Amino acid sequence: EIFAMFFNSVTNGGKTTLAEKLKNMLPNCDIISQDDFFKPESEVETDERGFKLYDVLDALYMDEMVTSIRNWMKSPASSRVVTEESENTCDNLKDVYILIVEGFLLYNYEPLNELWNRRYFLTLPYEECKRRRSTRVYQPADTPGYFDGHVWPMYLKYKNELEENASMQVDYLDGTKSQEELLSYVYSDIIQELNKLRE
């Protein structure tokens, strides 16, 4: 049985850390990261201000990402070494394979919409997001004004599109909460969903 959850967040929202921690708590769990599907810098468009447009779907090999997810779903057991179940995992989940897909542009790409069981979106207020972004080193490095000129406006545009789509079932999470609090909430939610699946 396959269970796929998608984690989306604003830049530096904490999705990768959360995904890694969940992977250690859940049986037979794997992660696919959208960051692994960026096109090389030479293929990413530049706007009139000189900003590289990384925060758009065109900057990513999305077809390859969908193919990777589908391949994993076809044969999850062969894609990794099956982990020993964590002590607190129910016995009836041992034959479930769990995939966590994490990224910053997942829910506005139609071919991904049929692949999920649960969708989470980690949000951050502007100041906190900008503060966290400034502590990270990127290749290529952020040019002056890049966050305000490209990253944040694209996040707002994307989030607004999501909120306007009434059919989109997304669980919004407050990224300013502690990792422990977020982890506890998401883990409980997933176990509940998995148990529903088994009924």
Query: What distance in Å separates the CA atoms of residue 178 and residue 43, rounded to the nearest whole number?
Result: 37
Burial class of residue 102, CB neighbours in 10 A (0-12, 13-18, 19+): buried
Q: What residues contact residue 118 under an 8 Å CB cut-off, 6+ apart?
A: 5, 6, 171, 189, 190, 193
Q: Is 47 a catalytic residue?
A: no
Q: Pick the catalytic residue: 35, 58, 95, 174?
A: 35
Which among 57, 59, 34 has a CA at the least distance from the CA of 45? Answer: 59
Query: What distance in Å separates the CA atoms of residue 105 and residue 44, rounded to the nearest whole number?
Result: 16
Separation of first and last alpha carbons in the chain: 13
Cβ atoms of 118 and 109 closer than 8 Å:
no
Cβ atoms of 97 and 1 closer than 8 Å:
yes
What's the Cα-to-Cα distance from 178 to each of 60, 84, 100, rounded to whole Å? 30, 27, 20
Cβ atoms of 32 and 72 closer than 8 Å:
yes
- Catalytic positions, please? 35
